[in-house]
Amino acid sequence: MPVTVVTDTTHYAPRELPGEEGIREVSLYVNYGEQHEREADMPDYGAFYQRLRELDHLPTTSQPSIGDFLEVYEPLAAAGQDVVSVHISGGISGTVESARQAAQEAMAQHPERRVEVLDSRTACGALALCAMAGNAVARAGGDVDAVAGRVREAIESMKIWFAVDTLEFLRRGGRIGTAQAWLGGALKIKPILTLDGEITPIERVRTSGRAFERMVDYLKARHEDGADGWVVQHIQAPDVAERLVERGREVFGSEPVFVSEIGPVIGTHVGPGLLGVGGIPRRLLEA
Q: pLDDT of 31-79, one tens digit each? A: 998 899 999 999 789 999 998 888 888 899 999 999 999 999 999 999 9
Return left, alpha or beta for 176; rule: phi > 0 is left, psi -120 to 50 is alpha, else beta: alpha
Taking residues 236-262, what's their average pLDDT? 98
Q: What CATH number should be reported for the domain holding residue 71?
A: 3.40.50.10170
Q: Are residues 30 and 119 both part of a single domain?
A: yes
- Cβ-based burial of 19 (10 A; exposed 0-12, middle 13-18, buried ≥19): exposed
Tell me the pLDDT band of 220, cut-offs 50, 70 and 90.
very high
Question: 5-9, 118-122, 202-206, 226-230: lowest mean pLDDT where?
Answer: 202-206
Taking residues 240-247, what's their average pLDDT? 98
What pLDDT score does 200 carry?
A: 85
What backbone phi and psi angles, to 5 degrees, belong to 75?
-65, -35
Q: Are residues 188 and 136 both part of a single domain?
A: no
Tell me the pLDDT band of 149, cut-offs 50, 70 and 90.
very high
Q: Are residues 137 and 193 both part of a single domain?
A: no
> In whole angstroms, what separates CA 143 from the centre of its chain?
24
Q: What CATH number should be reported for the domain holding residue 177?
A: 3.30.1180.10
14: helix, strand or coil:
coil
Mean pLDDT of the chain: 92
Q: Are residues 170 and 143 both part of a single domain?
A: no
Which structural domain range is residue 132 located in?
3-156
Q: Are residues 33 and 163 both part of a single domain?
A: no
- Cβ-based burial of 150 (10 A; exposed 0-12, middle 13-18, buried ≥19): buried
Q: Are residues 112 and 232 both part of a single domain?
A: no
Domain stop point among 104, 122, 156: 156
Taking residues 168-173, what's their average pLDDT? 64
Q: Are residues 197 and 116 both part of a single domain?
A: no
Q: Are residues 48 and 83 both part of a single domain?
A: yes
Q: How many domains, in total, are found in the chain? A: 2
What pLDDT score does 55 carry?
A: 82
What pTM was estimated for this model as a whole?
0.93
Domain stop point among 156, 173, 204: 156
What backbone phi and psi angles, to 5 degrees, belong to 258?
-165, 165
Tell me the pLDDT band of 279, cut-offs 50, 70 and 90.
very high
Q: Are residues 8 and 130 both part of a single domain?
A: yes
Q: Are residues 274 and 146 both part of a single domain?
A: no
Q: Are residues 33 and 144 both part of a single domain?
A: yes
What pLDDT score does 177 carry?
A: 57
Q: Are residues 56 and 174 both part of a single domain?
A: no
Domain stop point among 131, 156, 181: 156
